[in-house]
Amino acid sequence: MRAIRFNLGLAVMVVLLLGGPAASPALSQGRGAAPKDQPLEWKVPQSQIKIGPPQWKGAPPQGDKAAAPATANVKDMYFGAKGDGARDDTASIQSAVDFVHARGGGTIIFPPGTYLVTSVNLREGITYQGVGEAVIKRPDQLFQKQKFPRTFTNQKYAYYGEKDSAPIIFKNLVFDGNSQNQGPYKKYEQEHADLLFLTARRDSPGRLQVVIEDCLFRNSVSDGISIYKNVDVKVNNCTAIDCFRGGFLILGGNTRAVLTNYTGKGKNDPAGIDVELSGDSEGYGNSTKVEFYMENINLPDGVFDIGLGFGSKVVGKNIYSHGFFNLVAPGSTVTLSHCKFGIPPGARIVWPHRVTFEHCEFTALGNKDKPPALQAAPFIAWNLSGTSEKNQSVTFINCKFNVADGVAPETKVNGIATGRDGVDYHNILTVQGGNFSKRINEALAMYRGGHWRIKDAVVESALPFAWTGFKDSFGDAYADIVIDGATIKTKKYMAIGGYPDKNHPNRLEHKNLEMDESANYISSFYGLEGNQYAGHRVIWGSAPPTPATHGLVGDIYRLKDSPAEWVCTKAGYYYEREKKQIMAEWQPRKPS
């Protein structure tokens, strides 16, 4: 992307326009820097920031118009902006925009001050540069001519072109929505009154190119940064505070976004991240596809709400989120790594075509007052009522699952839970490595069927595996589970539900799994006779097995201090429905 940079002459001009060298140091302070109460160790040095993930093709082509070195200071007599927080400066700023645009583009300088603005017809090829404390503020509702003007974007502006635009650049500005003086908005009464709204027309292939750096967005009755259709946007080192619907939103298709070093928080309104492709969201070619790259995202109380259109791609690294979590990914690929998610009740993943978490931490959040059942990771809903998406996958690689300190001890917490699923849909949960903490009740819980692939996980939870599978109104929802090499550090192993059904048997396979006899507890509500077993566990004991020793058909029992060995020929377990022990049969055999 062609960057519009200050040369030495322009820097001197800025100093002169602002009244001397004293104003110059403020230019580099960065209005978007995270507040001092937020940790900054997650920030990427400016020299290391990438325009996008390596597999992308890089910056898109430019439009025909090249930015000329035109410069305008909005406080010049010719334009007449006051920046006193009292007079409406919209006309003055619009005059500066028209002046620079007529000369082929350039830079508009906003000296320190508070500029009351209703709406501006922004133009591409212009850098909007704040110096010092330059605040673009929405007037009180009483003085507005319209009910829902966008604070710094004309309601009708949309780029139109065959080629991508020259960039619009916003640097070192504060955008203040003045939400305290706007009237009701908590029920979306002012849903479209965004601070920045950026879009291109859907009937042309050219994207609007946008760069936003070192900016602060605060007190919005709607969105902070709202990205609609056919936009290529790069946002770096920005902060959003108390923005009602979100600090950064993507609402339209055929859009590419890079978001780095972003903080979203708020005491009144959590200023999180929201991708919401619904309704009239199609971009050029009727595309709802979004490409979204995130790195170093700090959401201490902001939402993480990603709802994608078909064919989208999301890559995220080093994300901290401690609020609402929602991920909807039909036909899309999502890869998140080195993230920390605090998961409140109600978090979920829906239609996860290809979703991968790598080296992430999940912590169940709750409170001590009548706590509901909780999840450490979001609940996985392969399908909602009336849908039948197939061949989807959610993969956790070397992830950790825990419970927050404030959660009541009696609260039941699952590590990962999967919803009902037809076995012929081939939707697969994969857990490779990672750790489930002692505080979790059930590490993995399956509700009415599905496919699990578990390899090398360390499980310290009270119950490692709980699953059900049977034919019901949903279809053949039986279970297909492979457990390979898990480490079990608990007193129970597995709870199995589901009606025995010889025509639709549940399938359980073990590989490379060794465990101590102290963890060898199996329970079932409906019995195990209708299931199929493959492979075996190796159970190490200090004494020979008895009929009361639990086992699945094919399991191997070995003594810790001798080469003696037995094989299970009939399953033994606790039969919960009848409250009795089902005795196993163990046959001695030659050590393998």
d(CA 450, CA 43): 40
User: Percentage of the chain with pLDDT > 90?
Assistant: 58
CATH number at residue 237: 2.160.20
The confidence band for 180, taking pLDDT boundaries of 50, 70 and 90, is low
Instruction: Please indicate whether residue 464 or residue 59 has the higher confidence score (pLDDT).
Output: 464
The reply to whether 246 falls in a domain is yes
The reply to whether 120 falls in a domain is yes
Q: 199 with 229: CB under 8 angstroms?
A: yes
The confidence band for 15, taking pLDDT boundaries of 50, 70 and 90, is very low
The reply to whether 3 falls in a domain is yes
Pairing of strands 573-575, 556-559: unpaired
d(CA 328, CA 314): 12
Question: In 3-state terms, what secondary structure has residue 143?
Answer: helix
Q: 193 with 221: CB under 8 angstroms?
A: yes
Residue 55 confidence (pLDDT):
34
Residue 179 confidence (pLDDT):
53
Which tokens sit at 227?
């990205």
Find the mean pLDDT for residues 166-185: 78
Q: 513 with 539: CB under 8 angstroms?
A: no
Give, in order, the Cα–Cα distances in Å from 106 to each of 129, 144, 166, 411.
10, 30, 11, 59
- The burial class, CB within 10 Å (0-12 / 13-18 / 19+), for 286 is exposed
User: Percentage of the chain with pLDDT > 70?
Assistant: 78
Instruction: Please indicate whether residue 356 or residue 154 has the higher confidence score (pLDDT).
Output: 356
Tell which residue, 127, 2, 141, 19, has the closest CA to residue 61: 2
Residue 320 confidence (pLDDT):
97
535 has which bridge partners? 510
Instruction: Please indicate whether residue 64 or residue 504 has the higher confidence score (pLDDT).
Output: 504
Residue 25 confidence (pLDDT):
30
The reply to whether 371 falls in a domain is no
The reply to whether 435 falls in a domain is no
Find the mean pLDDT for residues 157-179: 89
213 has which bridge partners? 171, 236
Find the mean pLDDT for residues 342-366: 95
Find the mean pLDDT for residues 513-520: 96
The tally of domains found in the chain comes to 1
Residue 196 confidence (pLDDT):
82
Residue 61 confidence (pLDDT):
36
Residue 183 has pLDDT above 60, yes or no: no
Residue 360 confidence (pLDDT):
98
Instruction: Please indicate whether residue 115 or residue 34 has the higher confidence score (pLDDT).
Output: 115
C-alpha dihedral sign at 130, 127, 115, 189: negative
Contact partners, residue 8, CB within 8 Å, separation at least 6: none
The number of angstroms, rounded, from the C-alpha of 271 to the middle of its chain's C-alpha atoms is 14
Determine which of 118-127, 197-206, 276-285, 534-543 has the lowest per-residue pLDDT on average. Answer: 276-285
Find the mean pLDDT for residues 452-477: 82
d(CA 452, CA 454): 6
The confidence band for 20, taking pLDDT boundaries of 50, 70 and 90, is very low
Residue 408 confidence (pLDDT):
84
Residue 271 confidence (pLDDT):
73
The confidence band for 488, taking pLDDT boundaries of 50, 70 and 90, is very high
Question: In 3-state terms, what secondary structure has residue 100?
Answer: helix
**Of 179-193, 234-248, 567-581, highest mean pLDDT:** 567-581
The reply to whether 97 falls in a domain is yes
Residue 504 confidence (pLDDT):
72
Tell which residue, 440, 380, 434, has the closest CA to residue 404: 440
Residue 138 confidence (pLDDT):
80
Which tokens sit at 13?
């001009």
Residue 30 confidence (pLDDT):
43
Q: pLDDT averaged over the chain?
A: 83
Find the mean pLDDT for residues 65-90: 86
Determine which of 57-66, 135-144, 299-308, 419-428 has the lowest per-residue pLDDT on average. Answer: 57-66
Residue 8 has pLDDT above 90, yes or no: no
Q: Where are the beta strands (DSSP E) in 185-343?
A: 196-198, 208-213, 216-220, 223-227, 231-243, 246-250, 255-265, 273-276, 290-299, 304-307, 313-321, 325-328, 333-337, 340-343
Domain that holds residue 237: 1-35+48-281
Residue 556 confidence (pLDDT):
97
Find the mean pLDDT for residues 505-512: 92
C-alpha dihedral sign at 524, 377, 431, 417: positive
Residue 194 confidence (pLDDT):
65
Which tokens sit at 385?
């009522």
The reply to whether 375 falls in a domain is no
Residue 146 has pLDDT above 80, yes or no: no
Find the mean pLDDT for residues 357-381: 86
d(CA 178, CA 174): 12
Determine which of 93-107, 232-246, 340-354 has the lowest per-residue pLDDT on average. Answer: 232-246
d(CA 34, CA 325): 22
Residue 157 confidence (pLDDT):
74
Residue 497 confidence (pLDDT):
82
Residue 29 has pLDDT above 50, yes or no: no
Q: 465 with 429: CB under 8 angstroms?
A: no
d(CA 91, CA 117): 9
Q: 208 with 170: CB under 8 angstroms?
A: no
- Compute how many other C-beta atoms are within 10 angstroms of the C-beta atom of residue 81: 24
Tell which residue, 310, 314, 332, 331, has the closest CA to residue 274: 314
Question: In 3-state terms, what secondary structure has residue 181?
Answer: helix
Phi, psi dihedral angles at 8 (to 5 degrees) = -65, -40
d(CA 562, CA 585): 21
The confidence band for 391, taking pLDDT boundaries of 50, 70 and 90, is very high
Residue 592 confidence (pLDDT):
74
Which helix (H) or strand (E) element contains residue 503? none
- The burial class, CB within 10 Å (0-12 / 13-18 / 19+), for 293 is buried
d(CA 181, CA 526): 62
Residue 368 confidence (pLDDT):
61
Question: In 3-state terms, what secondary structure has residue 98?
Answer: helix
d(CA 588, CA 54): 58
The reply to whether 116 falls in a domain is yes
d(CA 180, CA 194): 15
Find the mean pLDDT for residues 215-227: 81
